[in-house]
Chains A and B, each alone.
Chain A
Amino acid sequence: MRGDEFEKYLSHELRVVNRSLPRVRKSLKTLLEERYPHVPTRDGGAHMFRKRELIAAAEVLGDEAEELLLPIVLEFQVSAERTYAVVRDPVAAKLIARILGLPEETPIFVYPVQLRELRRRVGSLITYAFLP
């Protein structure tokens, strides 16, 4: 494989993993009012949310639920030595901290072992982004 082919493949792979990121994010309140809660994605598709997970998130957050923008983007820094995700949105960080029983701080760092619980409780509300 030539050098430029590597570059091409790297950018292709980053495009592939990030193609399903949301084009717009919607608030939890808006999504709860929709019949089919979803957001459009960059590749022209849609990311659908499970209603029971939306309700569960609203219950966990209480009054702050209206400010939560979905889906929650978990950013993976490719240049980092270890694999972990960062959540920068303060309301989303609060939700994750409460689900995982972590101290409420922004940004919050999520390690792969903690993703399991997150997926089980709010799997359709999260999405992954890979940053070069």
Chain B
Amino acid sequence: MPQLLRVRPTKIELIRLRRRLKTAKRLHKVLKDRLIILSQELIDTVKEAADLRESINERLVQCLTRYIDATASSTAAEIEEYATSRYEEASVVLGTRAVAGIRVPVAELERVERRIAAERFSAALIRVGACFDEIMEDVLRLGELEASIALMGREVSRVKRRVNALENILIPRMEATIRYLRMKFEEREREDKMRLKKVKELLQKRAGSSEGR
């Protein structure tokens, strides 16, 4: 049985307690809804991050194999020139988006390609470039997802603690105290009735005995 709250057994206290219980239930619903959304988002993000990491690892192996092939037809200087001259500009735009009260990062890759004479480089080297290009965007996305997981995980555990405290401790205690107060008042009412009955009987008895005299 849940513990009782320490309150004075008065009707005012019962009314107050009922009001508190109503508020606590609303708060519980807000937190629970938020927990549902955050947990779902967290699970999806974890799944997506795991899949993406696996796919990045697989493609990295492919890209490195292609890179080894490319080194057979290009010199180190050519590879370096190709790697450093492909983009005019490459930047990452970092922002945030809001998910049920928390901010998670959003990252977008912006690249401005440079016109280069493709015939100067081997086809194998160009394939390596394309392969790493694809991975770069996914690596950025993976970073975004992993940062989101950490933020969402922390919030989920915080909200979960509060939901559990309300669900298993505070609300049951309030309900038990309300039940206890109700029983106490009913008992008091019964006692009052009994007392009144006794007084009535006593008065009737007295009236009867004074008439007899």
Chain A positions near chain B (C-beta within 8 angstroms): 1-3, 6-7, 9-10, 13-14, 16-21, 36, 38, 41, 45-51, 76, 78-79, 83, 112, 115-116, 119-120, 123-124, 127-128, 130, 132
**Does B96 contact A48, Cβ atoms closer than 8 Å?**
yes
The one of A3, A20, A79, A132 that contacts B98, using a Cβ cutoff of 8 Å: A20
Given contacts A112-B36, A124-B97, A128-B37, contact A50 B27 (CB under 8 A): no
Given contacts A10-B23, A116-B40, A116-B44, contact A3 B16 (CB under 8 A): yes
B50 nearest CB across to chain A (Å): 15
Given contacts A6-B20, A116-B44, contact A78 B33 (CB under 8 A): yes
Q: Which residue of B31, B101, B108 has the most chain A CB atoms within 10 A of its CB atom?
A: B101
Of all chain B residues, the one with the shortest Cβ separation from A46 is B95
**What's the tally of chain B residues with a CB closer than 8 Å to chain A?**
32
- Determine the chain A residues whose CB is within 8 A of the CB of B41 once the complex forms: 119
Alpha-carbon distance between A3 and B17 when the two chains are bound, in angstroms: 7
- Determine the chain A residues whose CB is within 8 A of the CB of B16 once the complex forms: 3
28 interchain pairs, CB-CB under 8 A: A3-B16, A3-B20, A6-B20, A6-B27, A10-B26, A13-B30, A14-B30, A17-B100, A20-B98, A48-B96, A48-B97, A49-B106, A50-B106, A51-B108, A76-B33, A78-B29, A78-B30, A78-B33, A79-B26, A115-B37, A116-B40, A116-B44, A119-B41, A120-B44, A124-B106, A127-B98, A128-B37, A130-B33
Given contacts A45-B103, A48-B95, A48-B106, contact A130 B27 (CB under 8 A): no
Of all chain B residues, the one with the shortest Cβ separation from A115 is B40
Q: Which of B89-113 contact A (CB under 8 A)?
A: 93, 95-103, 106, 108
Alpha-carbon distance between A104 and B20 when the two chains are bound, in angstroms: 41
In the complex, whether B63 has a CB less than 8 A from a CB of chain A is: no
**Does B40 contact A6, Cβ atoms closer than 8 Å?**
no
Alpha-carbon distance between A50 and B102 when the two chains are bound, in angstroms: 18
Alpha-carbon distance between A124 and B98 when the two chains are bound, in angstroms: 8
**Given A19-B101, A49-B97, A79-B29, 6 new contacts (CB under 8 A):** A10-B26, A10-B27, A13-B30, A20-B98, A127-B98, A132-B26
